[in-house]
Amino acid sequence: GEDVEQSLFLSVREGDSSVINCTYTDSSSTYLYWYKQEPGAGLQLLTYIFSNMDMKQDQRLTVLLNKKDKHLSLRIADTQTGDSAIYFCAEKKTSYDKVIFGPGTSLSVIP
Amino acid sequence: DAGVIQSPRHEVTEMGQEVTLRCKPISGHNSLFWYRQTMMRGLELLIYFNNNVPIDDSGMPEDRFSAKMPNASFSTLKIQPSEPRDSAVYFCASSGDRVFNYGYTFGSGTRLTVV
């Protein structure tokens, strides 16, 4: 398809792990990103992964990339109420292309 | 670094009025992007500039919208005349050289309400 796809909503209990999934458009996309948007704020780059990597870990965040299936996931360990936000998956095909954003997944963390 | 600065944060205007949104990118960044966010359509890229030159304006909805970047430190998005369907949050973002791939830095947005 032409669009980056994400499920729109996810609800988890505080302390559990959250997994947000994304399907992107082009298996040759070189740069893949996760952005976080808190209420009333702009998007903030959370993490990124290049296509020559399968996994990237940064503290509580783990990004997994499956290039064959064009699937990207973001796992948040020990999810906290402060993690409640909208998470955007995004791709960039080459250095000179613009970034294409998904619709965002709204994560709700239940205390 | 103060980040990307947008003004105003909120704007309420009457239908038919002219609206001007302003953006100051991060110093040294040479690409600037204007996005619109609504519940219905999500995040839409309106236009982007590289080295102050408009590169892609295919997302600009119609002739009522115009954007300028007179210098590396300032850009405006103008809507004239405004309509209620223009109500949205408008974001400005900037990034370094086009081969610098560590993503965009977004401003806090301008929430526009047209009544």
pLDDT of residue A99: 85
Average pLDDT over residues A39-46: 92
Q: Find chain B residues with C-beta within 8 A of A99's C-beta.
A: 103-104
Strand bridging mode B19-24 / B74-79: antiparallel
- Is the pLDDT reported for residue A67 higher than 60? yes
- Is the pLDDT reported for residue A97 higher than 90? no
**Parts of chain B with a pLDDT under 70:** 1, 97-102
Which of A94-98, A103-107, B5-9 shows the lowest mean pLDDT across its residues? A94-98
Average pLDDT over residues A60-73: 94
Average pLDDT over residues A52-78: 94
Rounded to the nearest angstrom, the minimum Cα separation between A103 and chain B is: 6
Q: Do B104 and A41 touch (CB under 8 A)?
A: no
Average pLDDT over residues A33-61: 93
pLDDT of residue A1: 46
Q: Which residues on adjacent β-strands are paired with residue B20?
A: B78
Tens of pLDDT, residue by residue over A5-14, are 999 999 999 9
Q: Find chain A residues with C-beta within 8 A of B105's C-beta.
A: 45
Q: Strand ranges (DSSP E) for chain A?
A: 5-6, 9-13, 18-23, 31-37, 43-50, 55-58, 61-66, 71-76, 85-92, 100-101, 105-110
Share of chain A above pLDDT 70, in %: 96
**Spatial contact of B57 and B34, defined as CB atoms under 8 Å apart:** no
